[in-house]
């Protein structure tokens, strides 16, 4: 038995204005669904270990391993799992977790303390600062959008090498 786990900051705030972090756990068949939130001041591996321990005692299930797809949460989940003696597998193949996260993301806007979509704000800052590349702004989904160059002639006309600063 394996669990798919995510721990990440959500677009929610506590009553005191602290960002909320959410631990989401599910199995591959999505028969097990669990989530819990904590304020940023409590977000650490000990809190995660306590939540996983309580989930183990509630379900009577101890997973063989925990799958984590998000690199940003891997180290904190590894530290929590190590205290419980559970192996952690970093993998991008977590379809059940991704489906469960999609469902959860639709529920945030109706929750108290909803602050908006954090990915839009953070992705707007991802524009590359490259002297010879034009930035066409962000598309509706929040991802930076660059026009694709289809021909070398177009590229030469749009980005002449004599306009690039020499370092």
pLDDT digits (tens, 9 = 90+) for 117-164: 654 333 333 333 333 333 333 334 444 444 444 444 444 555 555 555
Torsion angle (degrees, nearest 10) of CA 46, 52, 58, 64: -140
**Could you give the residue range(s) of every CATH 3.30.420.10 domain in the chain?**
2-113
Average pLDDT over the chain reads 79
**CATH entry, 2-113, from 3.60.15.10, 3.30.420.10, 1.10.510.10, 3.40.50.10490:** 3.30.420.10
| Cα torsion 32, 38, 40, 45: sign | negative
pLDDT for residue 116: 85
State the DSSP H helix or E strand holding residue 56, giving kind and residue range, or none if neither.
Answer: helix 45-59
pLDDT for residue 140: 40
pLDDT for residue 125: 33
Q: Between residues 85 and 153, which one has the greater pLDDT? A: 85
pLDDT band at residue 40, thresholds of 50, 70 and 90? very high
Give the single-character DSSP code of 129: -
| DSSP count for the chain of H helices, then E strands | 5, 5
């Amino acid at each position: 038995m394996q669990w798919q786990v995510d721990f990440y900051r959500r677009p929610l705030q506590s009553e005191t204005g602290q960002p909320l972090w959410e631990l989401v756990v599910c199995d591959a068949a999505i028969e097990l669904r669990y989530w819990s939130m904590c304020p940023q001041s409590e977000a650490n591996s000990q809190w995660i270990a306590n939540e996983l321990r309580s989930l183990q005692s509630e379900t009577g299930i101890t997973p063989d391993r925990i799958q984590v797809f998000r690199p940003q949460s891997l180290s904190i989940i590894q530290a929590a799992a190590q205290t419980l003696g559970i192996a952690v597998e970093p993998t991008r193949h977590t379809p059940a977790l991704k489906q469960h996260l999609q469902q959860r993301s639709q529920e945030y806007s109706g929750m108290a303390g909803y602050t908006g979509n954090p990915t839009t704000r953070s992705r707007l800052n991802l524009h590359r600062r490259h002297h010879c590349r034009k930035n066409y702004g962000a598309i509706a989904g929040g991802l930076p959008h660059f026009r694709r160059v289809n021909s070398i002639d177009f590229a030469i006309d749009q980005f002449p090498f004599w306009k690039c600063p020499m370092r």
